[in-house]
Amino acid sequence: MSFNGANYHGWQIQPNSISVQEIIEKCVSTILNKKISVVGAGRTDTGVHASYFCAHFDLDTVIVDKSDFIYKLNSFLPSDIAIKNIYLVKQDFHARFDAVSRTYQYKLNTSKNPFLSNDSYFLKKEIDFCKMNLAALKLFDYTDFKCFSKSNTDVHTFDCDIRSASWTFKENYWVFEISANRFLRNMVRAIVGTLIEIGEGKYETNHMDKVIKSKNREVAGYSVPAQGLYLTNIIYPANFLLDE
């Protein structure tokens, strides 16, 4: 599926706030005429988008006409959520715990553009992207990223295996793309904020080493706005689908 997160308080259901998970569960339950719980590949924060997202639900019957089911789902869902495809998966498959890699992109534009204002971060400054890419290389030297994690997060480990991280220019905006086996809450937005401060000239590239070694969120940079962040890919093991 894909969704524009502007109108939602993230993926996960929470009291007194509208979430993507809640909307999808209601639609699936209505179509199947039974209470269905949908489990997502992970949490996304308020306002964060996903051009590629996966979720699973359990059903005691087989959906025979997948095309019709997808059509009905998209008819019920609001325009900012779209179902792309559904698959029959193995009994023990889990959308969150079976994911082996996730990729995020952060969109940043340095010139005013009315067509990007709601879906990217407009920074009214000149910044050095070469310097930011050099600083991003430092991420590969570490595994403990507590410094980029939201405070009071209930996790057992702050270790992440970062596989790629770089800035590239696409048409009229910059994109920071980062892939890892897992991400901590607010991690990507904090990394981007730290890189921007380096790109602005506030710090040299070795500041990234100091930030990561500190294991202190207050040493890292600011958290950039949510509207520029997109979950763009999730990779699962090759054998999770059932033959149909």
String of DSSP letters for 98-162: T--EEEEEEEEESS--TTTTTTSEE--S---HHHHHHHHHGGGG-SB-GGGSPTT---S--B--E
**pLDDT one-digit tens code per residue, 62-88:** 898 999 999 999 999 999 999 999 999
pLDDT value of position 152: 74
The rounded distance, in Å, linking the Cα atoms of 148 and 104 is: 15
pLDDT value of position 149: 94
**pLDDT one-digit tens code per residue, 147-160:** 999 887 778 899 99
The set of residues, in sequence order, having a beta carbon less than 8 Å from that of 28 and lying 6+ positions away, is 36, 38, 57, 73
pLDDT value of position 243: 63
Q: Which fold has domain 2-97?
A: Alpha-Beta Plaits (3.30.70)
Which residues, in sequence order, are bridge partners of residue 17? 14
Q: CATH 3.30.70.660 spans which residues of the chain?
A: 104-231
Q: Which fold has domain 104-231?
A: Alpha-Beta Plaits (3.30.70)
Q: Write down the pTM of the prediction.
A: 0.94
pLDDT value of position 155: 83
What residues are labeled active site? 45
Task: Report the share of the chain in percent with pLDDT over 70.
Answer: 99
pLDDT value of position 118: 85
Residue 13: which of 23, 3, 22, 4 has the closest Cα?
22
**pLDDT one-digit tens code per residue, 27-64:** 999 999 999 999 999 989 999 999 999 999 999 998 98
Taking 90 as the threshold, does the pLDDT of residue 134 lie above it?
yes
**pLDDT one-digit tens code per residue, 173-202:** 999 999 999 999 999 999 999 999 999 999
Q: CATH 3.30.70.580 spans which residues of the chain?
A: 2-97
Taking 60 as the threshold, does the pLDDT of residue 244 lie above it?
no
The set of residues, in sequence order, having a beta carbon less than 8 Å from that of 225 and lying 6+ positions away, is 47, 121, 189
Taking 70 as the threshold, does the pLDDT of residue 217 lie above it?
yes
Residue 24: which of 89, 78, 85, 93 has the closest Cα?
78
Residue 230 φ then ψ, to 5°: -135, 130
